[in-house]
Amino acid sequence: MKSIIIGAGDVGLNIARHLVLENRDVVIIDSSLERLAVVNETVDVQTIHGKGSHPDVLERAGAGNADMLIAVTQSDEVNMVACQMAYSLFNVPKKIARVRHSSYLNLVKGHLFTPDNMPIDVIISPEAEVAESIIRNLDIPGAFDSNYFAEGEIALIGVNIQKKSPVMNIALKQLTNTADIEFVAVAIYRDGRVIIPRGSDHVEEGDEVFFVCRSADIADVMHLFGYESQKKVRRVCVIGGGYIGYEVSKRLVKRGISTRVIESDKERAVRLAEMMDDVTVIHGNAVDRELYEEENLGQMDAILAVTNDDAANILATVLANQLGSQTVVTRINQANYMPLIDGLGLKKVVSPLEITASRILQHVRRGFIHSLHTIHEGQAQVIEAQVTRSSKLVGSHLMDIDLPDGVTIAAIFNSKKGMILPREMTIIREGDRVIFFSSVEQISEVDELF
């Protein structure tokens, strides 16, 4: 499968990394030789210098033989025109565009993005996706990662195992058998790698455990891991009033949450104040301790550090923790900051690059994929797939399914029975949704099951 990526920025480069890991043929187009040089040093792909919306550049990239075009430049207009060219001149089957501006996004559910008008199959808005992820983080105190499957019925939650955790030194099999609630530990992240646990495995201090459960049971499973329910979030301070800060603030206000925004750029702060009547906008430095103390930010229920500067977000998080903030969510763009997370006390981190990659990879797969979530820079993926009549899984007991190494079934969702935990005699039926956990090396083998 050949994919053309337009835009060699952080988003485009990260998507290319994921696609190359899956042995896909990738071409990246960008107008900056400097950015293309970074790509060539980082990942094994073909690069083309030029504007991705120009027909001659697309032709040089082999658009006539491409299965997919992914346009993720900083310009909405370039991305949309590139998709139009790919459709009209090269008949590329699938077109994905990054679109940021609300004036376009407001028309997504209308008639603009159709084959007769603007032929874009999938609209990706990283800022909106990240905002939703941050809101989910606020909903589950103690979790550093969360995602939902089967129309919100099933949850994937990531938790850190602390020193005094009640699950320390207890075998996972014993834990799941004795608990009154149903859940499955699908992965453990330890010493820089993702492990698929066996029932006899124990969790250790510092582990990151990913589990799947019914959404209604999240609080009970979190309690089992030693995380008590915290008071409802009512007051939030957003550090950074850029695209993401703005999107998050709008969602907080809709929930009736008292919201403050600290923005370092005076002109931007004035604009935000004009755009959001229900938000208190403060012009100030994101890492000014005196400002934090003056505004009594340590008493906030949550602080969200979401500026465009990773270093500023990290410093803001450290400062907020020192002042006693209950919950702090940190936006981190660059992968090279990830190893610092634990040492700096960053407990809830959102990565726009990973969130965007998850959304796009969902559409790279065949039509049976409903949702997809990447874990630890793409080392593994959690995939929700619909079982069709032609699938090799239909009518099979789980014990008879020869799953590749590195692949496990976390849960099954049946429209009548709800979530079903995997057992040896469980039968998969047409129409069921299967939640797979897979290491990236086995993704293509998971595809073959369908």
Q: In what order do the strands lie in the sheet with 94-98?
A: 46-49, 25-30, 2-6, 68-71, 94-98, 122-124
* Fold type of domain 355-447: Alpha-Beta Plaits (3.30.70)
Instruction: Count other Cβ atoms within 10 Å, centred on residue 231.
Output: 8
Strand pairing of 433-439 and 279-283? unpaired
Place of tokens 């550049």: 57
Rounded Cα gap, residues 88 and 81, in angstroms: 10
Helices (H), 22-54: 33-42
Query: What is the sign of the dihedral through the CA atoms of 319, 320, 322 and 327?
Result: negative
How much is the pLDDT for 336?
74
Q: Picking from 20-24, 177-181, 350-354, which range would have the lowest pLDDT averaged per residue?
A: 177-181
- pLDDT band of residue 148 (cuts 50, 70, 90) is very high
Amino acid type, 359: R
pLDDT digit string (tens) for 109-121?
A: 667 777 778 889 9
Rounded Cα gap, residues 375 and 355, in angstroms: 10
- Is pLDDT at 442 greater than 80 in this prediction? no
Place of tokens 């370092």: 264
Rounded Cα gap, residues 48 and 16, in angstroms: 14
Please tell me what DSSP assigns to residue 43. Answer: S
Q: Please choose, from the candidates 323, 281, 287, 288, the residue with its C-alpha nearest in 3D space to the C-alpha of residue 302.
A: 323
Q: What's the rounded mean pLDDT across residues 74-87?
A: 95
Q: Please choose, from the candidates 44, 87, 57, the residue with its C-alpha nearest in 3D space to the C-alpha of residue 69.
A: 87
CA-CA distances (angstroms) from residue 408 to 405, 411, 442?
8, 9, 11
How much is the pLDDT for 276?
93
> Bridge partners of 437?
382, 408
Q: Picking from 19-28, 226-235, 320-329, which range would have the lowest pLDDT averaged per residue?
A: 226-235
Assign 354 to helix, strand or coil. helix
- Is pLDDT at 47 greater than 90 in this prediction? yes
- pLDDT band of residue 43 (cuts 50, 70, 90) is very high
Q: Are 124 and 356 in contact (CB under 8 A)?
A: yes
pLDDT digit string (tens) for 382-428?
A: 999 888 888 888 888 888 888 888 888 999 999 889 999 888 888 99
Instruction: Name the token pair of 115.
Output: 């084959």
How much is the pLDDT for 110?
64
Burial class (CB in 10 A: 0-12, 13-18, 19+), 311: exposed
Q: What is the mean pLDDT of the chain?
A: 88
pLDDT digit string (tens) for 178-225?
A: 667 889 888 898 888 888 887 778 888 888 999 999 999 998 999 888
Q: Please work out, in degrees rounded to the nearest 5, the angle formed at the alpha carbon of residue 78 by the alpha carbons of 97 and 47.
A: 80
Rounded Cα gap, residues 352 and 333, in angstroms: 6
Same fold, 2-124 and 235-350: yes
**Class for domain 2-124, per CATH?**
alpha beta
Q: Are 360 and 4 in contact (CB under 8 A)?
A: no
Q: Residue ranges per domain, the chain?
A: 2-124, 152-225, 235-350, 355-447
pLDDT digit string (tens) for 264-273?
A: 999 999 999 9
Q: Please work out, in degrees rounded to the nearest 5, the angle formed at the alpha carbon of residue 112 by the alpha carbons of 108 and 113.
A: 65
Q: What percent of the chain has pLDDT over 70?
A: 97
Rounded Cα gap, residues 101 and 201, in angstroms: 48
The superfamily CATH assigns to domain 152-225 is: Regulator of K+ conductance, C-terminal domain (3.30.70.1450)
Instruction: Name the token pair of 261.
Output: 């925004």
Rounded Cα gap, residues 6 and 47, in angstroms: 10
- Is pLDDT at 253 greater than 70 in this prediction? yes
Cα atoms in the 13 Å half-sphere on the side-chain side of 106 = 3
The CATH code that applies to domain 235-350 is 3.40.50.720
